[in-house]
């Protein structure tokens, strides 16, 4: 199983522009569109709707899940204000429909799905930083 990943972070103060930036740069790493976007943003600086609107201004074809927190953790350290986007592509996940998955979950299981995605994102970012994967 091959998983391609692209992780992009923006510290732009404007949610729409930050969302647009991370989406454009995440997509640039792929020849074929990714199966999934996982977004994390700091809720003290960005409105989720504005970040999502920025991401969607670049593409509406890629399913988007995410959440917010007090900050964004990166390999270089924490950001108090920031938007992180992880794009994932795998041939073993064709036609992945996260919208359907999330519509059928309870709030607690949706949070678990997001937390699991965040953990996967961290592991993928670490593997990329160590040269074990390419994005």
**How many domains would you assign to the chain?**
1
Closest alpha carbon to 12 in 63, 55, 64: 55
- For the cut 70, the answer to whether the pLDDT of residue 80 exceeds it is yes
Please report whether residue 134 resides in a domain: no
CA-CA distance, 52 to 37, in Å (whole number)?
Answer: 11
Please report whether residue 110 resides in a domain: yes
pLDDT in tens, 1-23: 577 778 888 889 899 999 999 99
Quick check: pTM over 0.75?
no
Please report whether residue 135 resides in a domain: no
Please report whether residue 70 resides in a domain: yes
Cβ atoms < 10 Å from Cβ of 97:
11
* H helix count then E strand count, the chain: 4, 6
Closest alpha carbon to 41 in 5, 79, 90, 2: 79
Structural domain boundaries, residue 74: 3-129
pLDDT in tens, 26-59: 999 888 888 777 787 776 778 888 999 999 999 8
Please report whether residue 50 resides in a domain: yes
Can you give the CATH number for the domain in which 109 is found?
Answer: 3.30.1330
Please report whether residue 111 resides in a domain: yes
């Amino acid at each position: 199983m091959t998983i391609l990943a692209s992780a992009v972070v923006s510290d732009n103060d404007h949610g729409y522009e930050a969302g647009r930036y991370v989406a454009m740069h995440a997509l640039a790493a792929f020849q074929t569109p990714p199966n999934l976007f996982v977004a994390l943003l700091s809720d003290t600086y960005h409105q989720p709707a504005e970040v999502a609107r920025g991401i969607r201004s670049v593409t509406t074809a890629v399913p988007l899940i995410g959440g917010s927190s007090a900050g964004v953790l990166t390999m270089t350290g924490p950001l108090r204000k920031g938007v992180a986007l992880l794009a994932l592509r795998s041939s073993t996940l064709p036609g992945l429909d996260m919208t359907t998955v999330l519509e059928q979950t309870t709030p607690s299981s949706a949070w678990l799905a997001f937390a699991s995605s965040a953990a996967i994102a961290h592991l993928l970012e670490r593997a990329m930083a160590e040269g074990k994967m390419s994005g």
